[in-house]
Structure 1
Amino acid sequence: MTNPELLTRADVLRHGRTPFVLATVVHAERPTSAKPGDSALVLPDGTVEGFVGGTCAETTVQLQGLRVLRTGESLLLRITPVTPGADTGTESTENTESPENARRTVEGLVTVANPCLSGGTLDIFLEANLPAALAYVYGHAPIARALLDVGRTAGLDARAATPGEPLPPDLDVVVIATHGRAEESVLVEAARAGIPYIGLVASPKRGAAVLAGLDLTEEQRARVHTPAGLDIGARTPGEIALSVYAEIVALRPDRVRGVRPGAGTGAPRAVTEDVDPVCGMTVAITPDTLCLDRAGTRVYFCGPGCRHAFADNLSRYDHA
C-alpha cells in the first residue's frame, strides 16, 4: 500500500502545479529489498522521495522517471539482474519474460538489466503526473465565459484573468475576449513572455489594427493569432470558444498539455546522462549524483559501491 504521507505530498505537488512521477512497485521477485506497494516520487530536479528498492534500483527509477517527465507517457519499468555474459546497463522494450515472448515488443514496457541488483526482479509502474495546460482568459462577456467552460471541458486549467495580473512561468495559453478593453498591454506582455498560444477575439479588421499598433518585434507579433480560432463559421459564444481551442489543438504549441520545458523552477529539463564506468549503468546527472573528478573529467556513479571501487583501483579505469 502506498505510503499515506507520500500521497499527501503528491497532492501538494499537484496543487502547486509541480510535475512528478509516482513510482509504485507492482511485482517483486526475491531477493529484493522492495515489496509490492512500495512507492516513491521522482521530481523534476531528480530528487527521489520514498522507497522503491536499494541504491541501484532507485538510480534506475530516477533516470527513467526523468525521461517520463519529458515525454509525459507512463510506463512499466522492469529491472532485472544481469545474466552471465550479458551486456550491462542495457535497455529494451521487449518482453524478455519467456523464450516465446522474447522478440515480441510490448508497448509501454522498458526492461533494464541492472548489474547491481541483488538477484531479484522488480516491476515498477511509473505514472506521469503533469499539470494540465494553464490557460488565462481575459474578459467578462459571454464569449469569455464560454472560453472558460469549453477549456475546462477540454482538460485545460482555464482561469479567468485580470489585466495587470503577473503571468506565471508555466502559462501556455492566453486568450483575450475583452472587446477592446486593455487588450494591448496584455498582448505585449504575453508576446514578450513567449507564451505558446496568444489569441485575440476580434474581427479581422479590428484585430489587424490592434496588432499593427503593438510595440513588438515581428517575431513577437507573429505569436498573436487574430481573429483567434479556426474559421468554422462560428456564431455563438460556445462555437467561437470551440474554434479557439480547435486552433490550439491544430497548432500544438510547445507543451499545451503540461509544463513547457524550461518554464519555471518545477519544469522538467533535458535529462543529462552518463555511464558508470564500474558497472556500466546509465545514470542521470543531477546535483546529488555521486561523482569523482579524475584527470580533469568528472566521473559519475550509480551508488557509493561503484564510487569506492573506482577510487580503490584508479589505474583500471583510466580509460573511463
Structure 2
Amino acid sequence: MNLLERAAELAQARKPYVKATVVRAGKPASAHAGDTALVLADGAIEGFVGGTCAESSVRVHALATLDTGDPLLLRISAGAPSTVVEEGAVTVANPCLSGGSLEIFLEPRKPAPRLVVVGDTPIGVSLATLGAPLGFEVIPAGVPDPGAAGASAGAAGLVAAADAVVVASHGRGEEPVLEAALRAGVPYVGLVASRKRGSAVLASLEVSDTERARVHSPAGLDLGGRSAPEIALSILAEIVALRSSSDDATRRTTGGEDPVPITTAVLDSFVTIPAGTIPLATIEAPGTAIDPICGMTVAIVPGAIQADGPVYFCAEGCKRRYLADRG
C-alpha cells in the first residue's frame, strides 16, 4: 500500500494523522525534497523523511500540530540542542544529526467534525446543506420511533461518535436522541424548539440537571434569523464558536477506541418521513388532546404516544411521569 492509499484509509477510518513532506534538504542529509511520511496519533511514522534522529523531532512536532490543528514548518539542523519558535515555524538543532539540514512541512489531517441532524424539517435540511461547506461531516438522520424495538439503542449508536447533535424534528422522537447524546458526552447538543416547548422537553428528560443544562435550546445564536436557512446558519455559528473557544481539558476523548460506526442497523431503527411525499390536500386535520403532564396540545394520529383511557402525550417523558404518578 502506498502512502496515498494509506492516507485514504486513515481518512475513511476517521483516524487523525500528520502528513510530513520534506521541502528542502541540505547535503549530506539522507532525505530528499519530496520525501513524505505519515505520522499517526500514536507516534508511529510510516514513510521516510530522514533517519531516526530526524524522525524524533518530526514525531514531537507532528503530534503537537495534531493538538493545535495548525500546520508547521519544521527546520532541523545539526548542533547543540536548541529550539527557536516563530509564527508558523520551529527551528531545532539536533546534536545527533549527521550534518546537513532539513525543512519539513507538517500538515495535520483531522477527521471532519461529525454533525448528526435529526429530522428532515426545513431547518434540518438547511443544516445538512450549509454544514458541508463549513467542513462538517453531516449525517442526516430520521426520527426515532419511540414504539420501535431498540429505538433507544439506535439513538445511542447514532450519536455516540458525533461531535454535535441537533434535533430538528419539531416534537417527533426528541427525548431518546437528546438523552443518548447527553449520556454519550457529545460536546454540542441542540434542540430546535421555542423556549416554552423546549423547557417542557428538557424537563421530561431522564438525565441529571447538569446534563440537562448542556442542551442548547433554542439552538443557535440570536442573529435575528427567521427563515430556515437563517436559523440553520445561527446554529452552525454557535457550534463553530463553541468549538473554537473550547478548552482542551473539557473536550471529549475516545480513550484510543475507534468511534462507533454509523451502520445500516443503527439507521434502520429510525423512521424517516420524507418531505413532500404526501400531497397537502390529502392530509385531514387530526383531532387534538391535551397532555395532562405538560399541558401541550397533542394531535390524535396513528402512532401518537398514549396510555390507557386513552390519554395522549407529547413525548415519552410525559407518559413516563404520568404512569409513575399513577403508581
Q: Distance in 1 between matches of 2:48 and 2:158?
A: 36
1:13 maps to amino acid: L
Match of 1:218 among 209, 225, 230: 209
For 2:163, what is the secondary structure of its paired residue? strand
Give 4+ residue runs of structure 1 displaced > 6 Å after superposition. Answer: 253-256
Distance change >3 Å, CA 266–CA 36, structure 1 → 2? farther
Distance change >3 Å, CA 48–CA 107, structure 1 → 2? same
For 1:26, what is the secondary structure of its paired residue? strand
Instruction: Look up the match of 1:91.
Output: 83
1:92 maps to amino acid: V
1:23 maps to amino acid: A
Asked if 2 retains the 8 angstrom alpha-carbon contact of 1:196 and 1:253, the reply is no
Match of 2:137 among 157, 166, 172: 157
Q: Distance in 2 between matches of 1:170 and 1:37?
A: 36
Asked if 1 retains the 8 angstrom alpha-carbon contact of 2:159 and 2:180, the reply is no
Instruction: Look up the match of 1:142.
Output: 122
For 1:171, what is the secondary structure of its paired residue? coil
Q: Distance in 1 between matches of 2:201 and 2:58?
A: 50
Instruction: Look up the match of 1:207.
Output: 198
- Of 133-142 and 229-238, the range deviating more from structure 2: 229-238
Identity of aligned residues (%): 54
2:200 maps to amino acid: A
Q: Distance in 1 between matches of 2:125 and 2:87?
A: 40
Match of 2:48 among 38, 48, 51: 51
CA RMSD of aligned residues (A): 2.0
Distance change >3 Å, CA 126–CA 190, structure 1 → 2? same
1:214 maps to amino acid: L
Question: TM-score, with normalisation over the residues of structure 1?
Answer: 0.72
Q: Does 1:193 align with 2:167?
A: no
Q: Distance in 2 between matches of 1:197 and 1:178?
A: 17
Match of 2:103 among 120, 123, 129: 123
Q: Distance in 2 between matches of 1:177 and 1:261?
A: 23
Q: Distance in 2 between matches of 1:205 and 1:262?
A: 34
Question: For this pair of structures, how many residues does the alignment match?
Answer: 244
Q: Distance in 2 between matches of 1:266 and 1:216?
A: 25
Asked if 2 retains the 8 angstrom alpha-carbon contact of 1:133 and 1:255, the reply is no
Instruction: Look up the match of 1:80.
Output: 77
Q: Distance in 1 between matches of 2:212 and 2:159?
A: 20
Post-superposition Cα deviations, 1:68-118, rounded to whole Å, max 9, x if no partner, equal 111111100001000xxx4x2x2112xxxxxxxxxxxx4211011101100
Distance change >3 Å, CA 153–CA 264, structure 1 → 2? farther
TM-superposed CA distance for 1:231, in Å, is 2.0
Q: Which fold has the larger relative contact order, with Cα–Cα distance below 8 Å and residues 6 or more apart in sequence?
A: 1
Unaligned 5+ segments in structure 2 are: 145-153, 259-327
Question: TM-score, with normalisation over the residues of structure 2?
Answer: 0.71
